[in-house]
Amino acid sequence: MDSFEWLKGYTVGYGLHYVNFKHSSRPRTPKRSAHLYFDIMRNNGFPLPTEEEMLYGHFPEGFIWSTATAAYQIEGAWRADGKGLSIWDKFAHTALKISQDENGDIACDSYNKIAEDINSLKTLRVNHYRFSISWPRIMPDGTTRKINEAGLNYYHRLVDALLAANIKPQVTLYHWDLPQALQDVGGWENDTIVERFRDYSDVVFNSLGDKVNNLRFYFCPGISFRPGTAPYIVAHNLIKAHAEAWHVYNDKYRAKHGGIVGITINSDWAEPRNPYKQEDVDAAVRVVQFQIGWFAHPVFNGDYSDLMKNIIRERSLAAGRPQSRLPEFTPAEVARIKGTHDYFGFNHYTTVLAYNMDYKNLEHYDADRGAGTVADRTWLDSGSFWLKVTPVGFRNILNFIKEEYGDPPIYITENGVSERESMNLNDVHRIHYYDNYINQALKAYLLDGIDIRGYAAWTLMDNLEWATGFDDKFGFFYVNRSDPSLPRIPKKSVWHYATIINCNGFISPGEIPHECQIHEPDSLLMLSEEKNTEHK
């Protein structure tokens, strides 16, 4: 219990029980630590909670195993063969915007290293590869005024090489790299972008659709802190653009090519900071609805959720505006948007703890959401400040998708973890992450009956992680940037992920050794040890 701590007197308390020294009876009140210590003694250690225990089993036959990349992050060749500028080309060449003033001019030079990337994919044993197409590489000003055949030919060479290696392509139409020429006329805030994106999608479908049967439009909500309506206008046009792309494929290409098209949405899971506090429970609901629900509700249900509409309307009117800052879909738009999905594409990395927060009269997304978020201090860190290792949240949000959106087929299109310290090929932290997150997906499939069709790990190789430059390393392969040839060097997680793929799930300890296990070649093991020694 708290007691007299020598020179500190009663000003510090080491006890498992709080002692109220101001009261004559000196009452003892157990602290949370007392309950924790009781549990440790009762359990004689630290057994895993049931929801965190490993499940041994397999995904369905034909399960899609993939890894993902994005054009700006890996391609380089930023001005090669007629490519136009993207918004990220401009942003990365603006001083102090990217960590250490890095940029994607060369990145991983994947534009010139198709063979090396294919070899990396074959080492991983993936049967699919998710990559994105650079809009300005094939349409330099973002319009059909000029189609850059050299840019299209690059993607044809990549797709042909994938198919020759028996790896099926999964194409992302848009992954943040908007043509700068379109941004100059308002970008996603200008509703003409809907037609521009439809035309761009048509060009890709027409050129690559006979070789690719899995396409998606990716938008990860990069929330703007600009006040007013801008974030909602951007999202409104994104949703309409997605719907138009889906209809172009459905009307012109589906019968001939037989592919599937959908949207990919990124979202955290949220738990209440205090589960016994109703306002924190409500805040967690808002965090999820304002992220995943913002885009999924219109696509799957036809309109924004009532929760979003009511909150934003009430706050807009209270601020003296004549109408809501959240735009409305017309009845024709609702009909056009609803059902524009062949599956639910989903990116997920972490969980947050939500609590109610009053932003007073501020008019922006976070204020409308009315929630703050923190992390539990017991959650494992990663190389990214925002990413805490919380596997159970993955299963929770997969169940949310099933219940909220009518049990759609789900493709996990991104999931992964970063490291930031000196390069270490023995990336046990990444192995731990994938073991536990993929196992939660397996539980969602086997125990919860969720229709999970595929899983793509982020990412194939260390690359330009947007504003953090090359500091955050998500890759299975280390890219040695001090070598002009930019070699791809496998980390230990490569063999671990390859084993999960080859076993199509998790084999029990009693089945080890097993013929499905993939082992690291001895020559690479020696290389790994040498590299780790160099960086100590």
Domain boundaries, the chain: 6-43, 50-504
pLDDT at position 530: 59
Distance CA 293, CA 303 (A): 10
pLDDT at position 422: 74
pLDDT over 50 at 259, yes or no: yes
pLDDT at position 226: 58
pLDDT over 90 at 267, yes or no: yes
pLDDT at position 424: 87
CA dihedral 292, 447, 428, 518 (to 10 degrees): -120
Residue 529 designated active-site: no
Catalytic residue among 414, 465, 511, 529: 414
Residue with tokens 């690291």: 520
* Residues in contact with 260: Cβ distance below 8 Å, sequence separation at least 6, in sequence order: 213, 214, 215, 342, 343
CATH architecture of the domain formed by 50-504 = Alpha-Beta Barrel (3.20)
Residue 8 tokens, joined = 């500190």
pLDDT over 70 at 227, yes or no: no
Distance CA 142, CA 198 (A): 11
pLDDT over 50 at 177, yes or no: yes
- Tell me the pLDDT tens digit for each residue of 62-95: 999 999 999 999 999 999 999 999 999 999 999 9
DSSP letter (8 states) at residue 209: T
- Tell me the pLDDT tens digit for each residue of 478-523: 999 999 999 999 999 999 999 999 999 999 999 999 999 999 997 6
- Give the side-chain half-sphere CA count within 13 A for 494: 27
pLDDT at position 523: 64
Mean pLDDT of the chain: 94
Q: Once rounded to an integer, what is the mean pLDDT over residues 449-478?
A: 97
- Tell me the pLDDT tens digit for each residue of 413-458: 999 999 997 778 999 999 999 999 999 999 999 999 999 999 999 9
Distance CA 381, CA 389 (A): 6
Q: Once rounded to an integer, what is the mean pLDDT over residues 278-288?
A: 98
Distance CA 349, CA 9 (A): 46
Report the predicted TM-score, pTM, of the whole model to 2 decimal places: 0.91
In this prediction, residue 524 has a pLDDT band, given cuts at 50, 70 and 90, of low
Q: Helix, strand, coil: what percent of the chain each, to 5?
A: 45, 15, 40
Query: Of the ranges 28-42, 71-85, 99-113, which one carries the lowest mean pLDDT score?
Result: 28-42
